[in-house]
Structure 1
């Protein structure tokens, strides 16, 4: 009888473990190219996208950091576009520096790049100062960190002296590739095309998200807090329900960038310099002398890539 009771207890414990929900893993959502990355030059369009995106984030109590490209604030609608940054702060989000002109350190002389970065905080720093805060995060445009160690070291020394940390990326979904065709469909009033592109975008995100989780596990022996690169687009505003569902299905729970960056993984040295704008799992793999499972990496849909190329070419 005692043996039977012990077996029943062990069986009960095993069933409880099997039925227990998987522990949610942290992920910080970051949005580049504020006030908006858009195929439309219309500030009305930008305002509608921003209002929708922020409303969705606030409704779900999701913290986010937006990286500002301040050249986008210029023009006759400057005050309205600055207002969009204020809306981000009013919604409880944080703002970081993405450079004034979205230049690449790989292609820009260091002194010019530093000047562009300094110019890229003028408005943002003032808005944060009004709230007793300051800009603390810098994201490299194109994730390109320079082609010479001394150039990168000097630039990141400048960042540190001005109170910045680099915001890395450990998860992304090529959302920018889908954003232009989506904007075009919305602007043309083609609801069927917009729905098709949105579905393709969410399908691709659902495919690539578990790849990053598995790649991190293979590389580090565990899954760190992720930093997800997205962009401030109409597509992400309209797809937020689906994106959140994908995160939940992958046991990912949105947290602030500060919380994600407290993960010890972000202390792994990143010594990469070169022509590619690699995310940080790739950089850590180089540091650790390991390989990522690139053979199983899902490629973005060819039809979406072709639409993006055509539209970008037509706009030149």
Structure 2
């Protein structure tokens, strides 16, 4: 459904090269030039310009068209699928989530959503946060649950809650339930998710904020999933930094213990995000309403995940609300 010239424009926005765009789209370079010229004539404005080093940039009007075209492209993919579906078929929603939340909190929300909308079909995609934003742009999902910044020029978002990162270990670890200086952790083995994950990037960012690095620790283990990280820590193999709500059940059951670090505080915001001005905004807001209900409902108040989220909010000295109006 997307005009081929808009598709060319979006590709050129990404590559910033007429040659690479032609190769990517399997068309000639003059065809790329022709598509861009057509759009510039249609809108009576320049979309690109070269700087003094012959680097290609978007004009302000080009940036505006880029934001609009990204949403059109994403919606076009979803609407094409929607129109192919027989009229009496249940509506499908496609959800993306970072792994830590997709394996813990999202199923609780999804269960409540399906109780209210039992005829919905659901597809759920778990991946890294930056990949999820790309999936949004490509129209592969309607919305995602993410823990990274979503530029307001490209995405609509609603804050779900704020979560705390804590240091955890086995109850058998010598530092279990103790208050220590950061340097006292360096004699331990650090366990974290594998390279190229946002989880590892967040960990490095947190450590650097406290003048620490993974190389300061005795040794470390990189492993694929958050559940594998938790199991290794429970086996007293080392320590890890994990969102509190992800390990709250294990803390409550005595399978994990917390190590309290002096003057340490690290919090992240979890958002529900989708493409700006999307046709599917009402569907996204419908799911967001269920998120609000689950996280605030007395029926869920005793669940460890919800308790840990609320506990994080209560310790926030700014007394911010959990939800954005």
| TM-score interval for Structure 1 and Structure 2 normalised by the shorter chain | under 0.3
Q: Which has the higher contact order (CA 8 A, sep 6+)?
A: 1
The structure whose residues are more often strand, as a share, is 2
| TM-score normalised to structure 2 length | 0.24
Query: In terms of Rg, which structure is larger?
Result: 2
Name the one with the larger helix percent. 1
